[in-house]
Amino acid sequence: KKTIIIGAAVALVAIITLILVSRSARRKDLANLYIEAQRGQFDIVVTTTGELQAENSTDITGPDFTMSRRIRVMDIKITDMVPEGTEVKEGDYIAELDRTTFDNSLKDELENLATYETNLEVRMLDTAVSLSNLRDNIKNLRFSVEEAEITLQESKFEPPTTQRQAEISLDKAHRALDQALRGYELKVEQARSDMRTIKNQLTEQRERVADLEKILSGFIIYAPSDGMVIYKRDRTNAKRKIGSSISPWDNVVATLPDMSSMISKTYVNEIDVSKVKVGQKVDITVDAFPEKLYNGTVISVANIGEQLPNADAKVFEVVIKLNSTENILRPSMTTGNKIVTKTIDDVTYIPLESIQETEDSIPFVYMKNRTRQVVVLGESNENNIIVEEGIEPGDQIYLNTPEDPEKFSKLSGEELIETIKERERIRLEEEKKRANEIPQQNFGRGGEMMGMPPGMGGEFPDMRGMQGLSLIHISEPTRPY
């Protein structure tokens, strides 16, 4: 056992020693690695990650809930749906919605419809009976008028009082008949009005039932055309699937993308978005096929930023259209996008790792000839930086800090330091100038506007003209109770 333990310990020490030696060798190799300054075209690139989508697609929608104002609809759940990516033909089954609430509503509305129809029949019978009685009464009153006229004619040979009584009876009979006729006309108009009201209610109820039946017929959703089913994303960017809900104002369940024209939707941070313009060229890779390279063009850049979930900085949506597509590409594939925001021809550039700085923030590089060379730098991309002065194409420099930097005591190109400082001074002045373009606070008048004495106006800035500034409200300290 002792022999085994000793052997294992020796082997472990040997392995650790080998690892340390190899790491030291690698560090030494990196420290002694040289590169040559290059000259040629320099591209400034913004790199982002995006997602493939079809530029055009056909929406697969549920029922049109806005077709009737009589029906109030809340969100409706999806109870069944074909898997995403399913190839379908026109008329194929896609999804089904929860019918429970609408089935109950249709049952209630059918009962209401039956009630309205019964009420109409009863009202028609009652009206017929009532008007028949009125017509019989009018007929009797006409007979009474005829009798009164006969009585008046026979009273010509009677005393004046008898004749007067006959005249009064005839006048009463005429008035009773006139009243009955007017009452009959009013009763007819009233009956017509009541019938119109009931018929209108019945018509509305029938339309409500028809709307419900039509909406329910759309609860089983079919494909409007051939294609591949892609789940619809809602406002939170979550896919609609079984258990999700659709609303009356957004009833899209899924889409059928047109694969002949693809886009990559990506987001650029607020620092780089000012560099991105419509029409810029883009090199696109797809994670699923890393060996393939596609070309594209920026077709839109959002004007307003948004906050994505689990992100601190604001980002802006950028849409890139692929110049060509293939059958292997599918929606939702992850893309890598290199947006070429600027191209500079015939410049000298070196890797960013080669740049060092003195204690005074003067940039320099370690040269192979064991000197430190001051350099005037220009624009940079994610890998390289332009050197405007200090080195020439073909000069050999260290890629990283050498293992003995203290031996590089000589600093060449000190005459470039003034150029570097002058550029830095100009840059600071431009930043200060941009800052001064913001409308300044007009202290003094603000206090007077708030009723303060003229001498105290400095504590209250005039808020007019302060567009673009964020105002901070300082509340009164909380008092203990």
Q: What's the CA gap between 287 and 259, in Å, rounded?
A: 18
Secondary structure of the chain in HEC code, one letter for each residue: CHHHHHHHHHHHHHHHHHHHHHHHHHHHHHHCCEEECEEEEEEEEEEEEEEEEECCEEEEECCCHHHCCCCCCCCEEEEEECCCCCEECCCCEEEEECCHHHHHHHHHHHHHHHHHHHHHHHHHHHHHHHHHHHHHHHHHHHHHHHHHHHHHHHHHHCCHHHHHHHHHHHHHHHHHHHHHHHHHHHHHHHHHHHHHHHHHHHHHHHHHHHHHHHHHHCCEEECCCCEECEECECCCCCECCCCCEEECCECEEEEEECCCCEEEEEEEECCCHHHCCCCCEEEEEECCEEEEEEEEEEEEECCCCECCCCCCCCEEEEEEEECCCCCCCCCCCEEEEEEEEEEEEEEEEEEHHHCEECCCCCEEEEECCCCEEECEEEEECCCEEEEEECCCCCCEEECCCCCCHHHCCCEECHHHHHHHHHHHHHHHHHHHHHHHCCCCCEECHHHHHCCCCHHHHHHCEECCCCCCCCCCCCCCCCCCC
pLDDT digits (tens, 9 = 90+) for 361-395: 899 999 988 899 999 999 988 889 999 999 999 99
Q: What's the CA gap between 246 and 78, in Å, rounded?
A: 8
Q: Which residues pair with 366 in a beta bridge?
A: 372
Q: What's the CA gap between 298 and 276, in Å, rounded?
A: 8
Q: What's the CA gap between 51 and 255, in Å, rounded?
A: 16
Q: Which pLDDT band, with edges at 50, 70 and 90, does 1 fall under?
A: low
Residue 445 scores a pLDDT above 50: no
Q: What's the CA gap between 462 and 277, in Å, rounded?
A: 38
Rg (CA), the chain: 46
Counting Cα atoms < 13 Å in the Cβ hemisphere of 67 gives 16
Q: What's the CA gap between 181 and 114, in Å, rounded?
A: 36
Other C-beta atoms closer than 10 Å to the C-beta of 417 total 16
Q: Which pLDDT band, with edges at 50, 70 and 90, does 67 fall under?
A: low
The two structure tokens encoding residue 446: 């603000």
Q: Which pLDDT band, with edges at 50, 70 and 90, does 21 fall under?
A: low
pLDDT digits (tens, 9 = 90+) for 330-363: 888 999 999 999 999 999 999 999 999 988 889 9
What's residue 22's pLDDT?
A: 54
Compute CA distances 393 → 37, 40, 200, 237, whole Å: 5, 9, 91, 49
The two structure tokens encoding residue 232: 């619809």
Residue 37 scores a pLDDT above 80: yes
pLDDT digits (tens, 9 = 90+) for 309-336: 777 778 999 999 999 988 888 888 999 9
Residue 183 scores a pLDDT above 50: yes
What's residue 283's pLDDT?
A: 94
Q: Among the listed ranges 6-20, 302-316, 406-420, which one has the minimum average pLDDT value?
A: 6-20
Residue 257 scores a pLDDT above 50: yes
Q: What's the CA gap between 185 and 182, in Å, rounded?
A: 5
- Which amino acid is residue 184, in one-letter code? Y
Residue 419 scores a pLDDT above 70: yes
What's residue 172's pLDDT?
A: 92
Q: How far apart are the first and last CA of the chain?
A: 77
The share of the chain scoring above pLDDT 70, in percent, equals 86
| Mean pLDDT score, 282-310 | 90
Q: What's the CA gap between 386 and 405, in Å, rounded?
A: 24
Residue 41 scores a pLDDT above 80: yes
Place of tokens 């209610």: 201
